[in-house]
Amino acid sequence: MSTAPSLPAPRAGTPLPDGLAAAASPETAPEVWPLTARTVEGRLHVGGVALHDLADACGTALYVVDEADFRHRARLWRESGADRVHYASKAFLCAEMIRWVDSEGLHLDVCSGGELRLAVDTGFDAARIVFHGNNKSVAELEAAVANGVGVVVVDCLEEIDRLARAAAAADRVQDVYVRIAPGVAAETHDYMATGGDDVKFGFPVRGGHAERAVLAVAARPSLRLTGVHSHIGSQITATDGLTLAAERVAAFVALLAERHAITVEEIDLGGGAGIPYLPGQPRLEPATFTSALRAGLERVLPGSPVRLAVEPGRSMIGTAGVTLYRVGAVKDGLRRRFVSVDGGMSDALRPSLYLARYTAWTANRPARGEPVHAVVVGRHCESGDVVVPDIALPEDVATGDLLAVPATGAYHHAMASNYNAQPRPAVVAVRDGRAHLMVRRETPEDLRRRDAHGEPVRLTTG
């Protein structure tokens, strides 16, 4: 079949409205689309499957995941030079994803009892799980111990006590990482920065907090310190902060050896490698990310046998995902055109949460109109319900058209909600011309089943 972009490039010398970026096809901006995305005779295909056929079969809004893209990026991480790669499940998790992670030989990090239960129930080896979280309950810690979780990352002194008691009760020595805050601010949105001195995660190195936490672990016979953990933030595209963080964590490890004769076997420096969301934006490649960390470790601990672990999530699944919407209404405002779709902040929270920006493309036909200043909005009762802020869309985009939004594999399904009693979309994987369901679409009946209709609550008396 011949291939053709849905929207021809603007005529030379014709500026886009308000200097906006144009809508981007797989041919004009491949960096934001899955590896297999193609425009075939004016229609968008991913994994060899026409997205308009998927919309007819599965409805919209719909999450589409390119299995080949995920596996390709998983292998790049596995070959990046890290000793161990943990997939950060909070980016996107379901039973099928766990099977993909397992088949690619990766470890898995979870940050809740629900994620842990899903992984164990799916058959993932708990010894290859790292359990994160800044407020794990006693029940979650007991479940980690009972299921044989490989490493628990401790985040506060109370948690150290709780975990030690749970491990002792199970007659087990539990391996732990101590999460530290190295005082490095990542160049990213404030909501995604996690490595500074005053954040909710970990023990600050400054003031001796991290040192006291390590000594608290060392004093518990039911706990074994195997590593130190740090993560400075997400959507990072520059490496200077990564190298600096590695240096500071390495210096802390050296301090433990010199001052307390404590040997650290592993340093886990998290994830956070950035991906492109808009045309022309950079991607921090796995090998570059890992090399920056290695450089920082080597400067402080030259020749050390300490092992390096990393935890990519977004950079492994982000551009594998596309969200497909049906246009329900188009209307002109005073300065912008509002293109309303059948989803919104209930399935795409990031634009509302921290003003994340995306591009879009027509999936069902060539849209050939002149570009106009548009904003793709959702169907929820909020002014901030925006899916694609401020984009130059073809003026002939109309009711009934399909819009595809790329780079939505991470933190879209994971953050989806039932706001306005909206059922969450299905997730469909595509590969080699075939599609299979990863997560079924919620129904109104699913939502009604949770309604208790005023059922009495039995109160305990004390």
Catalytically active residues are: 381
Residues 6+ apart with CB under 8 A from 271: 88, 231, 234, 310, 311, 312, 313, 314, 315
Cα gap 201→193, rounded to integer Å: 10
**Burial class of residue 13, CB neighbours in 10 A (0-12, 13-18, 19+):** exposed
Cα gap 271→286, rounded to integer Å: 10
What number of other Cβ atoms are within 10 A of residue 103's Cβ? 10
Print burial letters for 127-154: b (CB count within 10 Å at least 16), e (below 16): ebbbbbbeebeeebbbbbbeeebbbbbb
312 is in an annotated binding site: yes
CB 140 within 8 A of CB 111: no
411 is in an annotated binding site: yes
CB 134 within 8 A of CB 181: no
Cα gap 314→235, rounded to integer Å: 8
CB 86 within 8 A of CB 151: no
Encoding tokens for residue 61? 């809004």
Cα gap 35→72, rounded to integer Å: 9
313 is in an annotated binding site: yes
Cα gap 369→99, rounded to integer Å: 44
382 is in an annotated binding site: yes
CB 462 within 8 A of CB 444: no
C-alpha dist (Å) from residue 83 to 97, 109, 131, 197: 22, 15, 18, 28
CA-closest candidate to residue 149, choices 167, 121, 127, 125: 127
Binding site, annotated residues for substrate: 314, 350, 354, 382, 411
Binding site, annotated residues: 272, 311-314, 350, 354, 382, 411
Binding site, annotated residues for pyridoxal 5'-phosphate: 272, 311-314, 411
